[in-house]
Structure 1
Amino acid sequence: MSNKRPLGLPSVRLIMIAAVAGILAGAVAVYVKGGLSGNGPDGAAAVADARCAGAVAHARTVSELAKGQIAALVATPQPRPLQPLSFKGPDGAALSLTSFEGKTVLLNLWATWCVPCREEMPALNALQAAKGGDRFEVVAINIDTGGDEKPKAFLDETGVHKLAYYRDSSMGVFNALKKEGLAFGLPVTLVLDKKGCLIGSMNGPAAWDSDEAKALVEKVSAL
């Protein structure tokens, strides 16, 4: 008899890991949320790029809704575009984040050797199944080195079929985000608004099929 948990139900282990991550991120989140209230004349957060001026309100929304199962998600104090990130799509064609402009994106980096990644993949799959569409997509990029066999086999074994298969076997995406101070390990998850501006980030897993995650996606996607 299979002992796989029902898709969309976070394991106790994942909930505990996410809870600890939330506690550890608490002090940072309080600081960032305070910073988002701003000390300037109009109380706005600083903007690192003029193209992301409208993203200040989006980052504030992340700050307000990052609680419960996604408490470790930290709003970006200075919303900005990320440097170009190159990876491959399901058909093997080259893609970049500009390919997703017009959608709110939950960008996630994962690998089969990363135990927390394996734990959270069904939750990401469930979030895509529930909220994916013209306004939102979970873009989960696998960074295993080598061929496609192992990551594809893992997705099949765990019933993760709602996520499109994005791949970067060079680990270039991870290294680029590491240089920006956004990736310290795996999994790493970023929230990008419809213009591709970074408005939130998290290192570590979360129950992305939780009510809190869905509420965040609904709100940010509607902005």
Structure 2
Amino acid sequence: MAALSGLRATRRTIALAAAGTLAGAALGRKALAAKLTESAPKPLPEFSFTDAEGKPHTVADFAGKGLLINLWATWCPPCVAEMPALDRAQAALAAESIVILALSSDRGGRAMVEPFYRDKGIRQLGLWLDPRGAASRALGARGLPTTLVIDREGRERARAEGDQPWDSPEMLAAIRRLVGPPRSAPDQERT
């Protein structure tokens, strides 16, 4: 039964990636650029992911920070296309307590992602893993890549499907606006 469940999960992950790849090819990169769909603030469902050492984490571990949760895989062409922009965006946003959680759905985990980061020169992004696709399912991703903007209260504020110019001035401004300003020291002491 577990093998059948794993097969279903694998088929779903492949279907998600194919949908994202086909959407990117059909619409073209320019049409997808800056397609950040804003929504009313809504709470996130619970899900977990791991760091490179296999330690489990949740979004609650990043309380008070602005987040971009990027669902991606090394075998997904639009995901690969946007990784350098995500890396540059992380460099631009880190001082403002905004973290990009690039959650890889690669079944090979760290063994797949670490060499990819090295080969592509990805230096700013942390290595975060979701090899069973729990985050994709919980967040209702329709394809890869899917990225959510999470405000400092832990609520989804926007999402984008397909590769995006995350390091463009317009996108960085939108991210800053949606996550809100960093908390001041007195605000942090009250929480």
Q: TM-score, normalised by structure 2?
A: 0.76
Match of 2:31 in 1: 20
The answer as to whether partners of 2:145 and 2:163 remain within 8 angstroms in 1 is: yes
Query: Are 1:222 and 2:184 counterparts?
Result: no
Write the distance in 2 (CA, Å) between the matches of 1:173 and 1:145: 14
The answer as to whether partners of 1:101 and 1:196 remain within 8 angstroms in 2 is: yes
Counterpart pick for 1:186 among 119, 144, 161: 144
Tell me the percent identity: 34
Write the distance in 2 (CA, Å) between the matches of 1:110 and 1:218: 22
Match of 2:162 in 1: 204
Counterpart pick for 1:159 among 105, 116, 121: 121
Counterpart pick for 1:73 among 28, 36, 40: 36
Counterpart pick for 1:122 among 84, 98, 119: 84
Query: Are 1:170 and 2:108 counterparts?
Result: no
Q: Could you tell me how far 1:146 is from its partner in structure 2?
A: 2.7
Q: Could you tell me how far 1:19 is from its partner in structure 2?
A: 2.2
Write the distance in 2 (CA, Å) between the matches of 1:126 and 1:138: 11
The answer as to whether partners of 1:112 and 1:144 remain within 8 angstroms in 2 is: yes
- The code of the aligned residue for 1:191 comes to V
Match of 2:5 in 1: none
Match of 1:3 in 2: none
1:166-208 Cα shifts (integer Å, max 9, x gaps)? 0011111112222xxxx11100000010010111011111011
SS of the residue corresponding to residue 121 of structure 1 reads helix
SS of the residue corresponding to residue 79 of structure 2 reads helix
Q: Could you tell me how far 1:218 is from its partner in structure 2?
A: 3.1
Write the distance in 1 (CA, Å) between the matches of 2:176 and 2:48: 27
Higher relative contact order (CA 8 A, sep 6+): 2
Counterpart pick for 2:47 among 72, 85, 104: 85
Which protein is richer in helix relative to its size? Answer: 2
The answer as to whether partners of 1:131 and 1:217 remain within 8 angstroms in 2 is: no
Equivalent pairs counted in the alignment come to: 157
SS of the residue corresponding to residue 95 of structure 2 reads coil
Q: Could you tell me how far 1:134 is from its partner in structure 2?
A: 5.1
Deviating runs (4+, > 4 A) in structure 1?
A: none
